[in-house]
Amino acid sequence: MKAPKSSTELIDVLQRQKTLPTLIPTQPAVTLEDIAQYQKAGHGMVEILLRTPFALETIRVARKQFPGLLIGAGTVLTPLQVEAAAQAGAQFIVSPAMDVVVGEAANLHRLPFIPGVCTPTDVAVALRRGFVLQKLFPVELHALEKLLPEGTTYLDALNSPYGHTPLRLIAAYGVTQANFASHLSHRLVAGVIAGWLHDLHGEGLEKVLRETLALSVPAEAVR
């Protein structure tokens, strides 16, 4: 698939596939098999985490083996990692934080950058730099939600000041099978990270992924 020119293109893909697979390539062959399962399920993008020595090579092989998919690099912490990921063929960059230097490095390589955010300040800094797709984690802040009006979630609290902006979020760490549909239906959410899929492979992954996607709700139901 042609490299995306902006985060907006990633949002379009993510809204169609609903989940963002985050893959840790401890066994590259297994990771590539998992990617095949996600592609079979209709996914157009996956994220390979730079947490093992095999990550960059897995990105290289995945780009060749799955030309119809967008292959991103995740857990990118430094500009040097951005450069290495770009050379391996990564088509977008994901970082756990709104690190300005990492974002600038991604821009230098003309790669869409998805920063991790937690607070309204994080969101504001990322938006100011044009990063409209952000990974929100944790998506549920129980202590904070106790201070909000009854029934209000942290997503609702962020929607108040940012609902009129281009902001779209990937909800992570706090999403469960029980609340998957409600998070996915929120107007700020482009997709979620389904953590319960991480340790599944082969037929087990195919089965639970199919069940998970069946939990999703129609786009018309967004708040």
135 catalytically annotated: yes
Sign for the CA dihedral angle at 202, 64, 99, 122 comes to: negative
Is 47 an annotated catalytic residue?
Answer: yes
**Could you give the angle at which helices 79-88 and 55-65 cross, rounded to 10 degrees?**
30
Catalytic residue among 2, 9, 83, 135: 135
Q: Which of 2, 9, 40, 47 is catalytic?
A: 47
- Contact (CB, 8 A) for 115 and 103: yes
Tokens of 200: 């599944």
Residues with a known catalytic role: 47, 135
